[in-house]
Amino acid sequence: MSELEPQDWAVDALGALAHETRLAAFRLLVKAGPEGMIAGAIAEHLVVPPSTLSHHLATLERAGLVQSERESRLIHYRTDFAGMRRLLAFLMQDCCQGAPEMCADLLGTITCTPA
């Protein structure tokens, strides 16, 4: 991830998520957790041609939201949770004009269900 100004980086990250396939892939990888998934399984799950998916995953990786690791002939993708936290922190910075209690229950609205 390049060292851009926080707002410039956030625009890039949000732009990367502003596509149906990339958003679906990112959410799938978030759901997969730290173990992530191999590219072929992501493509199969999303019903996207592997070459198309590769382009989308590269965009997410350049934006600092996904990490990849080659394992022999396979590429394993994982959510870059630090990048996700960075984006969420940027969006929530200065929350509620100094009244953080307005956002206090935000995390409570997230439901994590096992796969």
Task: Please report, as a single letter, which amino acid is at residue 50.
Answer: P
Using the predicted structure, report yes or no on whether residue 61 has a pLDDT greater than 90: yes
**pLDDT at residue number 114:** 61
Give residue limits of the domains in the chain.
6-109
Q: What is the pLDDT of residues 46-60, one digit of tens each?
A: 999 999 999 999 999
Q: Give the type of residue at 79.
A: T
Burial class of residue 71 in the structure, from the number of CB atoms within 10 Å of its CB (0-12 exposed, 13-18 middle, 19+ buried) = exposed
Question: Under the phi-then-psi rule, with left for phi > 0, alpha for psi from -120 to 50, and beta for the rest, what region is 114?
Answer: beta
Mean pLDDT (the chain, rounded):
89
Judge contact between 64 and 20, C-beta under 8 A: no
Summarised one tens digit per residue, pLDDT across range 12-35 is: 999 999 999 999 999 999 999 999
Lowest mean pLDDT among 50-54, 78-82, 99-103: 99-103
Asked if residue 25 lies in contact with residue 53, where contact means CB atoms within 8 angstroms, the answer is yes
Query: 69 or 102: whose pLDDT is higher?
Result: 69
**Which fold, 6-109?**
Arc Repressor Mutant, subunit A (1.10.10)
